[in-house]
Amino acid sequence: MVNGLGYPQYGIQGGDWGGIIAWTYGCNYPEDLLGVHINYMGMRMRDEVPPDERDPNIIRGVGLQGAPLRPTDPDQLRYWKAAEHYWMYEGGYAHINMTRPQSLAYAMSDSPVGLAAWIIEKFRAWSDWDENFETIFSKDELITNVMLYWLTNTFCSAIRIYYESHHHPWTREPGQKMEVPTGIAAFPRDIVPIIRSQAEKYFNVVRFTEFPRGGHFAIFEKAEQMAQDIREFFRPLREAK
């Protein structure tokens, strides 16, 4: 962006993995960024565990490599209870991706029905809808998303990030915080909804918007509201320059 395209500063927006990467990016290249806007945080449990709880001989659950945690603050407890529920009831796909991605990739690259089931199930489980799923996503939108992976045969490369980040995690200094101005869009039906007090431990939060409806795929579910929130966050940062 700076050396290749010539932008002295720019902003980034991220949800899902983009939200996770945004924190690391902002810590490494703060001078390049005008601001960061996220709608998913996904910080690692291992970063929250007190030093006296980091005994490698403590047995931990699947996906909870940093456990145990003993939150006393109500907001922290609510946040980590949501994370626990996600790992226990929704996180099986992630554990496979982290441990055996190649075996799964062959199956998904061989079966369009299997690929569709694997992907669409996530849209159904993680979005905010009442009685009719297709009020949020049409069949055309779902099939288009699946076809992006099927026609390009990129399911394997897409899930590789789980394996690599699990086996080669980025490091974080205790108490490290990203100081780039950050805007957050929080949606109640996300897999782990963002809580402001949790976000402020990692980000320089200057705007926090809690939406009454919406889930993990907010950029699709609430496109107009998301676009407005992104514009309103970045506008004063641009005008200040």
> What are the pLDDT digits (tens) for 173-196?
767 889 999 999 999 999 989 999
Percent of the chain at pLDDT > 90 equals: 60
Q: Which of 16, 128, 190, 229 is catalytic?
A: 16
Last residue of a domain, one of 113, 146, 167: 167
> Given strand 178-186, what is the order of strands in its sheet?
10-14, 33-38, 178-186, 203-210
- Euclidean distance between CA atoms 15 and 187, whole angstroms: 11
30 and 83 within one domain: yes
- Euclidean distance between CA atoms 182 and 36, whole angstroms: 5
Average pLDDT, the chain: 88
117 and 50 within one domain: no
123-151: average pLDDT: 94
87 and 54 within one domain: yes
- 36 Cβ neighbours under 8 A, 6+ residues apart: 11, 12, 13, 14, 22, 25, 26, 178, 180, 181, 182, 183, 203
Active site residue 216: yes
Tens of pLDDT along 46-62? Answer: 566 666 666 666 655 55
Beta strands in the chain (DSSP E): 10-14, 33-38, 178-186, 203-210
Question: The tokens of 77 are what?
Answer: 């407890």
Phi and psi dihedrals of 93, rounded to 5? -60, -40
Looking at residue 213, its pLDDT comes to: 95
Q: Which of 25, 128, 149, 216 is catalytic?
A: 216
Q: Which of 79, 149, 162, 202 is catalytic?
A: 162
Strand, coil or helix: 181: strand
Looking at residue 117, its pLDDT comes to: 96
Where does residue 167 rank: exposed (0-12), middle (13-18), buried (19+ CB within 10 A)? Answer: exposed
Decide if 1 is inside a domain.
no
186 and 118 within one domain: no
Looking at residue 73, its pLDDT comes to: 81
Question: The tokens of 222 are what?
Answer: 């609430």
Between 98 and 56, the more confident residue is 98
Closest CA to 60 of 88, 79, 92: 88
- 99 Cβ neighbours under 8 A, 6+ residues apart: 163, 166
User: How confident is residue 69, by pLDDT bands cut at 50, 70 and 90?
Assistant: low
- Euclidean distance between CA atoms 98 and 163, whole angstroms: 4
User: The domain that contains 182 carries what CATH number?
Assistant: 3.40.50.1820
192 and 222 within one domain: yes
User: Which domain does 218 fall in, by range?
Assistant: 10-91+173-240
Domain count, the chain: 2
User: How confident is residue 79, by pLDDT bands cut at 50, 70 and 90?
Assistant: confident
